[in-house]
Amino acid sequence: MKSSPELIDHLCTDIGGSMNNLKQVEQAVLKLSPQEQENLRDWLENLLEDRLEMTDEFKAEIAAGKADIAAGRARIRRP
């Protein structure tokens, strides 16, 4: 099982060292094993979460999500 930096290196190598095209990245991700895809997803989720700021818009999205859950409009995601 590769760590996240190794996965990124693997992806870069797979697409010729340049990730300038989303289609190329998508194709490279499809070549990963299911476990590597899970690891990549975890890494990407952490990366995106770290970039979030508590803006008024983000706070409104959280409030809307809580309201949806309270109203029974929620989808449960299980790994």
| This model's pTM is above 0.85 | no
How far is C-alpha 9 from the geometric centre of its chain's CA atoms?
A: 17
Q: What is the pLDDT of residue 7?
A: 65
Would the pLDDT of 8 be above 80? no
In a domain, 16, yes or no: yes
Number of domains in the chain: 1
Identify whether the C-beta of residue 25 lies closer than 8 Å to the C-beta of residue 11: yes
In a domain, 70, yes or no: no
Spatial distance between the Cα atoms of 26 and 69, rounded to a whole number of angstroms: 32
In a domain, 33, yes or no: yes
Please give the biggest Cα pair distance in the chain. 48
Q: Which residue has the higher pLDDT, 21 or 65?
A: 65
Would the pLDDT of 66 be above 90? yes
Query: Model confidence over 34-50: pLDDT tens digits?
Result: 999 999 999 999 988 88
In a domain, 60, yes or no: no
Would the pLDDT of 13 be above 70? no
In a domain, 67, yes or no: no
In a domain, 65, yes or no: no
